[in-house]
């Protein structure tokens, strides 16, 4: 990101300009002391395209880290700009917008060819979090341009002296506390698949397997210039899980799956301070702030896997292809496990035998992998053959319009 002209730098420059000129009261400017940092990282084990973390002191934003995972580089300037714009939306305390809202930067992308700038719904949410307070000519007073003035960090300036810190946009309940404390909220931006065909098409192996034990944690973020080394600036919590194979549904490797194999899931991010060690407590806090779902020892899953890049000192392992890449098998039914709430529209709970037959059909199909999730399928009622999800309530289907 430090080098002008690189694709991600260009994308962030474009999107910061998009948000700067959007109809909101947030303006962007460069500063060596600003609270917001835009960056990229490379993590082949991360099933997310990017993250944002906002640290608040009371209701004031004190620090924002925005980053994109270049492993999921979409290979198109416009889509890269949309990804960067999406993360920049999170930096303004905006959470994801429900699928039903259609084309929004903070939602999913029904057609990657038709948008890459903030939409009306996006900007109206920003205006709820940072409401209009006074008329001035702020927009004109802040010079906008000249990216090479500041080479390392791109800094956000919250215009008109406003600052807010909300996990959820107004329209949903906002938690308020009477005592001032520092809190960090994180946003993960999921890479999603909209059909079994797409999941299967992305997979090297599809297996049914039982999680047997937890393995170690390693830094799954790689040095942006050399994938064999860990990232010196970011510790991505790569949690290793050991699995026992029960059924191989499809598999492109002769030597795999063996009876046991490793799966890595990304479970949090910790900025590395030079000279400081990452402690167990740092990892615990990072995991608590992240929205991943841990695997349960003894539970069975259907997993859509790809072989991950082997890092020195780390055994060969697999990782998920896209959300929802893991389905809990419980009492003869499958349950998609993902923090992506809208996954239930595309991957309803269903009997395992039905699911396996659908995977076979998806594998046999030679039609192109669908990439669009629009229109949203009707939410199927859970089969009467299937028990309720055993690990607590599943996200409820959204009804009506949760955002004005």
Which residues contact Zn ion by CB under 5 A?
189
Shortest approach of Zn ion to residue 322 CB, angstroms? 14
CB of 226 to Zn ion, least distance (A): 28
In angstroms, what is the minimal distance from the CB of 84 to Zn ion?
11
Minimum separation from the CB atom of position 78 to Zn ion (A): 18
Q: Which CB atom, from 291 or from 360, has the smaller least distance to Zn ion?
A: 291
Q: Which is nearer to Zn ion, 98 or 362 (CB)?
A: 98
Burial class of 371 by CB neighbour count within 10 A (0 to 12, 13 to 18, 19+)? middle
Please provide the DSSP assignment of 256-296 as one string. ---SEEEEEEEEEEEEPPTTPPPPHHHHHHHHHHS---PPP
**Least distance between Zn ion and beta carbon 94 (Å):** 9
Sign of the torsion formed by the C-alpha atoms of 388, 390, 392 and 398: negative
Q: Provide the angle, in degrees to the nearest 10, between the axes of the packed helices 7-21 and 77-90.
A: 60
Q: Provide the minimum distance between the beta carbon of 97 and Zn ion in the complex, in angstroms, as a whole number.
A: 10
C-alpha to C-alpha distance for 272 and 278, rounded to whole angstroms: 8
Judge whether 82 and 43 are in contact, CB under 8 Å: no
Distance of CA 217 to the CA centre of its chain: 20
189 or 311: CB nearest Zn ion: 189
Report the distance separating Cα 115 and Cα 102, nearest Å.
11
Question: Which of 66, 155 has the CB closer to Zn ion?
Answer: 66
Quick one: 163 or 189, whose CB is closer to Zn ion? 189
- Alpha-carbon span 320 to 192, nearest angstrom: 11
Q: Kindly tell me which of 30 and 116 has the beta carbon lying closer to Zn ion.
A: 116
C-beta of 68 vs 203, nearer to Zn ion: 68
Residue 326 and residue 337: Cα distance in Å, rounded? 6
Shortest separation between residue 108's beta carbon and Zn ion, angstroms = 10
The dihedral built from the CA positions of residue 102, 305, 196 and 296, taken in this order, carries a sign that is negative
- The residue of the chain with the least Cβ separation from Zn ion equals 189
Nearest distance, CB of residue 50 and Zn ion, angstroms: 7
CB closer to Zn ion, 73 vs 244: 73
Q: Give, in order, the Cα–Cα distances in Å from 18 to each of 12, 27, 116, 357, 374.
A: 9, 10, 9, 46, 25
CB of 96 to Zn ion, least distance (A): 6
With respect to Zn ion, which residue has the nearer C-beta, 41 or 330?
A: 41
CA 257 to chain CA centroid, Å, is 28
Relative to beta strand 222-223, strand 226-230 is antiparallel
Q: Could you tell me the CA-to-CA distances from 313 to 219, 228, 271, 317 in Å, in that order?
A: 11, 10, 22, 12
């Amino acid at each position: 990101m430090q080098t002008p002209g690189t694709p991600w730098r260009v994308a962030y420059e474009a999107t910061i300009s998009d948000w700067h000129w959007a109809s909101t009261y947030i303006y962007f400017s460069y500063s060596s002391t600003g609270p917001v940092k835009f960056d990229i990282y490379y993590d082949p084990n991360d099933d997310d395209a990017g993250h944002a973390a906002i640290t608040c002191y009371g209701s004031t934003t004190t620090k924002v880290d925005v980053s994109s995972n270049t492993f999921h580089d979409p290979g198109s300037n416009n889509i890269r700009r949309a990804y960067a714009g999406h993360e920049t939306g999170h930096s303004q305390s905006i959470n994801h917008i429900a699928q039903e809202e259609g084309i929004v930067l903070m939602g999913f992308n029904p057609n990657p060819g038709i948008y890459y700038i903030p939409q009306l719904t996006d900007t109206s949410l920003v205006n709820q979090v940072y409401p209009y307070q006074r008329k001035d000519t702020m927009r004109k007073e802040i010079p906008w341009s000249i990216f090479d003035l500041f080479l390392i960090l791109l800094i956000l300036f919250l215009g008109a002296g406003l600052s807010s810190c909300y996990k959820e946009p107004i329209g949903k309940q906002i938690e308020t506390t009477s005592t001032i404390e520092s809190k960090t909220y994180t946003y993960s931006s999921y890479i999603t698949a909209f059909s079994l065909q797409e999941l299967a098409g992305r997979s090297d192996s599809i297996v049914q397997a039982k999680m047997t034990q937890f393995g170690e944690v390693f830094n799954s973020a790689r040095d942006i210039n050399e994938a064999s080394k860990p990232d010196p600036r970011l510790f991505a919590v790569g949690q290793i899980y050991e699995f026992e194979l029960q059924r191989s549904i499809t598999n492109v490797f002769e030597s795999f799956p063996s009876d046991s194999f490793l799966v890595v899931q990304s479970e949090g991010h910790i900025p590395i301070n030079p000279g400081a060690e990452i402690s167990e407590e740092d990892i615990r806090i990072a995991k608590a702030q992240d929205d991943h779902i841990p695997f349960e020892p003894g539970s069975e899953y259907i997993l859509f896997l790809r072989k991950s890049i082997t890092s020195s000192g780390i055994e060969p392992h697999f990782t998920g292809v896209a959300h929802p890449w893991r389905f809990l098998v419980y009492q003869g039914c499958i349950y998609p496990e993902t923090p992506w709430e809208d996954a239930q529209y595309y991957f309803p709970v269903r009997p395992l035998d039905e699911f396996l037959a659908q995977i076979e059909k998806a594998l046999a199909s030679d039609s192109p992998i669908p990439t669009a999730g629009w229109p949203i399928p009707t939410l199927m009622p859970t089969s009467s053959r299937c028990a309720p999800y055993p690990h607590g309530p599943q996200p409820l289907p959204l009804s009506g319009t949760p955002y004005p």
